[in-house]
Structure 1
């Protein structure tokens, strides 16, 4: 069913997802000795670093600046920082300079001056004998800043550097790294980066689950889009099934229906497997409809067409008829034709007349008038059959004009208008495809005319 294949392709987009929430840079403890002692066991595998102590005046200045920052008085925080520390950098030790630049980076970040923040944090990393905690905090922040600036490869490099020293990296960090790979692949139009990013997202989900916590919805969305671009549709389907279970939103119901349709196109699919997937697709889409999720014209028409494809014409006509009456589906040629076809397939020929007539009036060719005439033939209304097939011939551009003449001839025959019938069959015989049939009818009409004449003569007419 080609329309279903086209339908599923519209369900998904490879556009970039929003970034994971950034962790704002924070000021570290104001006593370097305390920091170094606290982190000593955690970073035992690093070289021993002798971090200089922080002077009282420096600590007080940073404390004052931090108080202004917490009140979001950025101007005063910056003033204190520069007057008390920035103007005396040559007199500060390496740890004090690191804390100055760290706070300066924080202020720049708070004002969304990302380039300024990066410059400041780079100066932090240039200082000697940094406490591992400070170095890691700044490295992690740099990774986030480069992500925000869409310099994804640099972001990845910093995040990988940070992870070298993390025995249990946080789930958010893993997600940022995974998304950086996704964004880099999107930027370079290279899906191989998605393959690199997927394990980090899956690891974050697993860690959350092991802690008895609910993984975030956006993590599954990121996985979904990467697997979709890798054309691993079965995995995508598994993810969307989970999304429907945990967050039963409209978009997930619609996407799940689309994925079942997509899976039917896989190579090696047996007819039985294909039918099962198509049935799942219909069930999911109908469930979405019953929950009131399907409100767009395309969605309602798609559901109606799905019912028709599964040979459930009654539901097909019911959905589309209701949607058109409620004004949710436009009353155009295509939709009138769909509705009439649903009625015809359900053998409700009487109800098919109105929508088919509406569609025929809007059509540029006479084919729908031809179909309308054939419906009237089914109803044994030969007068209207002849009328509308005549309109079909007059409107022209018929796919089978010869058939139109044959059917109209049959209508006239049933009306007892043998001369009119003969004219139609004579027109039909001009076409190679219908010549034999037309000749048979003409021969039959001649015999019938003679039979009627003999009866008339016998009756003394």
Structure 2
């Protein structure tokens, strides 16, 4: 019923790459030249020069210089780790994500980078895998990286939620999505959408309802959330709440989708308040929120009929007959009059029905025969029964009524003669 809308993981890797390169350059200045793992003076100068190339958008020249520098630095050293790290960031800037991953993983494998840098590089690797939709690999790096964060930001938490969701681990994704929403000053709509989608995937409809209500507090004008919340209540077998939700949206002027308005009316009709449903539908038709076509006029007529509001029901059936150019709506009108024993009006409706296309004309002739018989117009009634008898589906009933009408006529004639 519901297709989940999992938030896509999109990042501007070129911007991230440039920022990471700048951070990498600043980190160079923090290393002590006397420390065992310090970067060499030559490598430091070369990397600083390469950063200037990158700042001038000379990415290809920077890449060539880095490749040359990598061939010159001491193997398994901090120098090599930093060069590989910058090679990875440079490849990110060139949109060569797989090559960037290879360089960054090699940098990590040397185990020379400071811890805070190491885990930021791991985060970059996770993002790069995610960009290529390699979510299982992304998750391996992201989980280790997230454990090192003392105070994760909402963006970092939602990144984890996205990765878990993309690997089908919706239950594990939910706590991260909630963490992002609860800790963010201005939670993004996509975060709520991810939380809602995960709960739908797990068929945890009560929690999906809670997430939808949270989204509605932030974005009350979004019709989709009202409609989804109503659908959740229906899935939870609480159709009254579903109806109430749609009604609130309708009163707020938010409900616009044709199928949602139709659902609102149908829920009202099927839950014992058809008059309310009919009035809602009539209002929607008056506002042009729904097309005044066969489907909705038929629904309107039947809603009024279910509410035992015969006058507006008859009006709607008459409109339906004009729309469809068919006689069946007049047959429905005739039945309304027959229930009230208004035989003359029933006759008029039946004759209109018979002048138009009918799905089962035999039924119209049968009912017309009854209406004429009840008016003691036996000859016309018997003629109608004979016509109804020509149809297989009314033959048996028509024959019985014909015999009954003949008996009534004889009885009526005998009484009339004796009275005179």
Moved more, 350-359 or 225-234: 350-359
Matches within 5 A, 1:384-403: 384-390=348-354, 395-397=358-360, 401=362
Change (3 A) 1:197 1:22: farther
SS at match of 1:330: coil
Query: Do structure 1's residue 246 and structure 2's residue 218 form an aligned pair?
Result: yes
Give CA-to-partner distance per residue, 1:78-126, whole Å, 9 cap, x none.
Answer: 424534x432333324323333332332233234332232233233224
Unpaired segments ≥5 residues, structure 2: none
> How far apart are the structure 2 equivalents of 1:301 and 1:262?
17
Task: Report whether the alignment pairs 1:91 with 2:98.
Answer: no
Structure 1 residue 137 and structure 2 residue 153: aligned? no
Residue of structure 1 in register with 2:206 after alignment = 234
| TM-score normalised per structure 2 | 0.82
Q: Does 1:335 align with 2:317?
A: no
8 A contact 1:30–1:54 mirrored in 2: no
Quote the offset at 1:240 in angstroms: 1.4
SS of the residue 1:395 aligns to:
coil
Q: 2:229 and 2:109 mapped to 1: Cα distance?
A: 51
What residue number does 2:305 align with? Answer: 344
Contact 2:223 2:256 in 1 (8 A): no
- Distance, in Å, in 2 between the alignment partners of 1:216 and 1:456 is 90
| Match runs of 1:215-226 below 5 Å | 215-226=187-198
CA distance in 2, matches of 1:330, 1:213: 43
Q: Deviations over 1:308-351 (max 9, x none)?
A: 22333343233333433444323332222101112223333333
1:45 aligned partner = none
Cα pair distance change 1:356/1:110, threshold 3 Å: farther
SS at match of 1:419: helix
Corresponding residue for residue 267 of structure 1: none
Is the contact between residue 386 and residue 402 of structure 2 (CA under 8 Å) also seen in structure 1? no
Residue 34 of structure 1: SS of its match in structure 2?
A: coil
Contact 2:135 2:163 in 1 (8 A): yes
1:300 aligns with 2:261: yes
TM-score by length of 1: 0.75
Contact 2:88 2:103 in 1 (8 A): yes
- Partner Cα distance (1:437, 1:31) in 2: 99
Report the Cα distance in structure 2 between the residues aligned to 1:16 and 1:438, rounded to whole angstroms.
Answer: 65
Offset at residue 354 of structure 1 (A): 4.4
Q: Which residue of 2 aligns with 1:66?
A: 51
**Which of the numbers 321, 346, 354 marks the counterpart of 1:382?**
346
RMSD, matched Cα: 3.5
Structure 1 residues 224-249: Cα deviation after superposition (integer angstroms, max 9, x where no partner): 21121111112211221222223322
Q: 1:383 to 1:302 in 2, by over 3 A?
A: same
Aligned residues: 406
What are structure 1's unaligned runs of at least 5 residues? 1-8, 38-48, 186-192, 265-276
